[in-house]
Amino acid sequence: MTHFNLSILFILISILGCSSSQEETKNADLPIDKDATTETVALYNNLKNLAQDHVLYGHQDDLAYGYSWWAEEGRSDVKESTGSYPAVYGWELGDLRQDVDTNLDGVNFEQMKEWIKEGYNRGGIITIAWHMNHPVTDGDSWDTTPGVAAVLPGGAEHEKFKTWLDKFAVFTQDLKGEGGELIPVIFRPYHEHTGSWFWWGDEQTTVEEYVTLWRFTVDYLTQERNVHNLLYAYSPDGSPSRFQKYMEKYPGDDYVDILGVDDYGTFMSEETDLEFLSNNLAWLAQKAEEKNKIAALAETGLEALTRQNWFTEELYTALTMNPEAKGIAYVLTWRNANYEKEQRDHFYAAHPDHPSASDMTEFRNKELILFEDELPNLYSLE
Ligand code: BMA
């Protein structure tokens, strides 16, 4: 064969070998994982576009339990209060390391996978946080003994730590949609590290340790475990003294897809500083735009909704007071702990008997806010 014919043959093979998924994603922005699955790339691009006009609403543990029920098919406090499931479903992997089948709040991991599939199949977005156990003391994530140095390469618990990441990798590869495709997940590890209540916290960890922990996690999952259905969300605590440290331990643009923030502090006193939160969200949205990434209010809420109109008067105000704040992609309120099980009012979304249900419905009806039944297809680039 002549050199010319060989070249033609090579070009033909290249064209034929280019899968439809590569074709589909070729003009799209890629997340930090350049081998991310087609659906993950689609979610990244679609969420970024949707954020220009909307903010999606999310709720932690929404399908697993509510204030007055536990693991009942189809139920959701959010749906029963507002008429729709949330657009974003948050899940939690604390205790995954142990040989136990439930997480730290009693949610069964196998059932969790089914709820994740259910939410995804309806078009929702999945995000996972991890109150990871203490690698040295075997305590929980609130054990503030410094622990990061021990899990880094060369550290005494590095091998043990890798087995936890392995468990997580296996968990993520079990998440498949109806067509067998991997379900994209927004992974939000080592959160609120500008506070000092976790073993990876501010006082517990140097800049270098935190950055190395984060980068090791991303590299290990993508390169060693071939996990390619994750977007990575960074979410420092956003209270005044802590928001100033937002970039101090930032792992770098090559390691973060979503610039998030967790903020409960704003709503904890009667003197809530909505303007402060609104300005922080505006700053985040602007930073995300500069970096061609996504911004989010990754965790927030008013425990027990003690101010009935919190959704419209406080949360919505924070999302709109500074017009740039609207640029964030989603907001997630924390879980509705089951009262019978936990004997406390630890809930952050309305439940149908709560007086906030109508206010939450009013929030849902705002043009800016999207719940699940208003979502376009987020998993295709068409
Ligand atoms: C916390 C509380 C805890 C819970 C943990 C993980 O903020 O809700 O009760 O165990 O999140 O879900």
Full pLDDT tens readout for the chain, 382 residues: 444 454 444 444 444 444 445 556 668 999 999 999 999 999 999 999 999 999 999 999 999 999 999 999 999 999 999 999 999 999 999 999 878 899 999 999 999 999 999 999 999 999 999 999 999 999 999 999 999 999 999 999 999 999 999 999 999 999 999 999 999 999 999 999 999 999 999 999 999 999 999 999 999 999 999 999 999 999 999 998 899 999 999 999 999 999 999 999 999 976 679 999 999 999 999 999 999 999 999 999 999 999 999 999 999 999 999 999 999 999 999 999 999 999 999 999 999 999 999 999 999 999 999 999 999 999 999 7
Residue of 39, 192, 209, 314 with catalytic role: 192
In terms of Cβ atoms closer than 10 Å to its own Cβ (0-12, 13-18, 19+), residue 239 is buried
Given phi > 0 = left and psi -120 to 50 = alpha, else beta, which region is 373? alpha
List the alpha helices (DSSP H) in 220-255: 240-243
d(CA 188, CA 262): 11
* Backbone phi, psi, residue 274, to 5°: -65, -30
Which residues make Cβ contacts (< 8 Å) with residue 351, sequence separation at least 6? 66, 67, 68, 77, 80, 81, 336, 357
Query: What pLDDT sits at residue 15?
Result: 45
- If one counts every other C-beta atom within 10 angstroms of the C-beta of residue 362, the result is 16
| The one catalytic residue among 209, 299, 314, 372 | 299
- Pocket around ligand 1: residues whose beta carbon is below 6 Å from it? 92, 94, 104-105, 131, 335
Q: Are 130 and 92 in contact (CB under 8 A)?
A: yes
Q: How far is the CA of 142 from the centre of ligand 1 (A)?
A: 10
Which atom of ligand 1 lies closest to the CA of 346?
Answer: 8
| 178 given a catalytic annotation | no
Distance CA 171, CA 176 (A): 11
How far apart are the CA of 332 and the centre of ligand 1, in A?
14
For residue 269, the model assigns a pLDDT of 75
Q: Which atom of ligand 1 is nearest to the CA of 131?
A: 6
| Ligand 1 centroid distance, CA of 82 (Å) | 24
Among 77, 23, 88, smallest CA distance to 258 is for 88
Q: Residue 12's pLDDT is what?
A: 46
- Identify the CA nearest to 69 among candidates 355, 370, 356, 340: 340
> Ligand 1 atom 8: the closest Cα is on which residue?
335
Atom nearest to 337 CA in ligand 1: 8
- The token pair at 272 is 């809530």
Which three-class secondary structure state does DSSP give residue 153? coil
pLDDT value of residue 23: 56
Question: In Å, how far are 85, 99, 183 from 380, measured between CA atoms?
Answer: 21, 37, 12
- Ligand 1 centre to CA of 92 (Å) is 9
Q: How far is ligand 1, taken at its centre, from the CA of residue 94, in Å? A: 9
Question: How far is it, in rounded angstroms, from Cα 100 to Cα 31?
Answer: 33
Catalytic annotation present for 192: yes
What is the distance between the alpha carbons of residues 346 and 344, in angstroms, rounded to a whole number? Answer: 6
Residue 59 tokens read as 């709720």
60 CA: nearest ligand 1 atom: 12
Alpha helices in the chain (DSSP H): 3-17, 20-25, 38-50, 77-82, 109-121, 148-151, 158-173, 207-219, 240-243, 274-290, 316-320, 339-342, 357-364
- Say what the pLDDT of residue 21 is: 52
Does residue 173 come out as left (phi exceeding 0), alpha (psi in the -120 to 50 range) or beta? alpha
